[in-house]
Chains A and B, each alone.
Chain A
Amino acid sequence: MLTDGDIARLYRVQAPRVLAFLVRRTLEPEVAVDLMAEAFAQAYRDRRDFRGDGDRAAVAWIFGIARHCLASYVRTEQVERRALDLLGVERRPLTDEEHERMERLADLGDLGDALTHASDDLAIERREALRLRVIEERSYADVARRLGVSEQTARARVSRALRSLRMSPTFIDLRSQLDHA
């Protein structure tokens, strides 16, 4: 059994790691934050059901919940918010700075070559947005200017491109490498 204090302590140490795990798999910062929050909300809800012993078991339990949330998202394309709704937790959108820091956390820049090959099947507009943002590492403002669209549209194109690429074999292999780096 875990206490509120145990979960709070786990959150302090493990939330960034869980978030990194999720953003590397979803490639979508907003989605990753929601999944992370739902995972910890479920941990608070189910803390009395934990039967493990020690921190390592508790960390494995948290990551197990996060994997379950991720699998549900991949299956349904929707973030389950049942535990968050039960607790009444809402959050604001990420700031630009937070968005960009999460992209760096996901090591998207290191995926450049893989993206070059894997993006061949994407629509031209999405591929171009992805190339400018991830491979050339330009700011969203710059990407938007070069594509002649709003920053919001540029961000959406990159997000959709990454979502399309998420299940490609090249990506799955790279995600695995990143997790073991």
Chain B
Amino acid sequence: MPETAETFDLPILAEIGAQLHSAALAASRGRRPLASRRRWVSRRVGAVALAIGVVATPAIAATELWQPILGRPSLHNAPTSTSTTTPEDTELAVLGVLRRSQSNADRGPAVAALLGNLSSEQAGVRPESVRLLDGTSGQEAALVSVASIDDGAAGVPAHVEELCLLFGQGSTCGDLEQLLTGRLFATAGPRQLGLVPDGVAQVVLHYANGQELVAAVHDNFLAPRRFTWVEPY
């Protein structure tokens, strides 16, 4: 099949783009470039899996308005507003899962339940940005882009342009810098899960006792299914 620039989606392009952007962001904030601190792994296989996933979950027409229930309105704990704007270009540039079209699964019952974890601290929740993560493993989580989060702490400004991971036991949110520096992770009971930028196919989790766990990434998301401790602390 002939290649055209319009359909040219090599993994190396996404990897370089993510590196360039994170390094430029760090440089503009007066910090050391990140490239030497991150461990990149080829994602040839991951890219194939992503392509299959996109084919298997047809996109919903962009004109079809979706107004899911966010938070728990019956408990007066729901986001104060929603937004129809797209996530920041800087987020789209490093998260392929946000660049793909929203699928039926992204609007399905599993995600509807997870959206109940949003709260009144959040404003400008973008329903069109909601994505189901790892929908085939039974370890579902959802990603949603949020314009601002204000936890009400005195003297602390609201966090803007956050990415929230919603999972069964709760949620965690972080900004682009946290994503790019490997800090958009959460531990929930026996589970650990996290969001990583394009170009990362595997993440190595290092534990205090020296053990390591290699977790595969799908759709910018990792959630090892189970742990086997081989020796105690």
Q: Which of B25, B34, B93 has the most CB of A within 10 A?
A: B93
Task: Give B16's nearest chain A residue, CB to CB.
Answer: A37
Of B7-15, B111-119, B140-148, B222-230, the one with at least 4 CB within 8 A of chain A = B7-15
Task: Give A21's nearest chain B residue, CB to CB.
Answer: B5
Question: Within the assembled complex, what's the spacing in Å between the Cα atoms of A88 and B32?
Answer: 9
Cβ contact within 8 Å between A12 and B20: no
Q: State the interface size on chain A (CB cutoff 8 A).
A: 36
Q: Which of B2, B27, B93 contacts A104 (CB 8 A)?
A: B2
Interface membership of A7, Cβ < 8 A: yes
Cβ contact within 8 Å between B44 and A105: no
Measured between beta carbons, the chain A residues less than 8 angstroms from B10 are 16, 98, 101-102
- Least CB distance from A44 to B in Å reads 4
Measured between beta carbons, the chain B residues less than 8 angstroms from A101 are 3, 8, 10
Cβ contact within 8 Å between B89 and A88: no
Question: Within the assembled complex, what's the spacing in Å between the Cα atoms of A87 and B17?
Answer: 12
* Cβ proximity bits B52-79 to A, threshold 8 Å, 1 near / 0 not: 0000000000000000000000000000
Measured between beta carbons, the chain B residues less than 8 angstroms from A9 are 89, 92-93
- Least CB distance from A169 to B in Å reads 26
* Cβ proximity bits A156-175 to B, threshold 8 Å, 1 near / 0 not: 00000000000000000000
Cβ contact within 8 Å between A11 and B17: yes
Measured between beta carbons, the chain A residues less than 8 angstroms from B220 are none
Cβ contact within 8 Å between B93 and A98: no
Task: Give B42's nearest chain A residue, CB to CB.
Answer: A92
Measured between beta carbons, the chain B residues less than 8 angstroms from A4 are 21, 24-25, 28, 90
Q: Which of B13, B19, B24 contacts A7 (CB 8 A)?
A: B24
Measured between beta carbons, the chain B residues less than 8 angstroms from A104 are 2-3
Task: Give B1's nearest chain A residue, CB to CB.
Answer: A104
Secondary structure call for the A interface? helix
Q: Which of B6, B13, B24 has the most CB of A within 10 A?
A: B24
Interface membership of A41, Cβ < 8 A: yes
Please judge, given known A-B contacts A4-B90, A33-B12, A37-B20, whether A89 and B3 are in contact too, CB under 8 Å. no
Question: Within the assembled complex, what's the spacing in Å between the Cα atoms of A45 and B33?
Answer: 13
Within 8 A of A (CB), among B17-49: 17, 19-21, 23-25, 27-28, 32-36, 40, 42, 44
Cβ contact within 8 Å between A16 and B6: yes
Q: Which of B16, B21, B88 contacts A91 (CB 8 A)?
A: B16
Which residues of A pack against B, CB within 8 Å? Answer: 4-9, 11-12, 15-17, 19-20, 33, 36-37, 40-41, 44-45, 86-92, 94-95, 97-98, 101-102, 104-105, 107
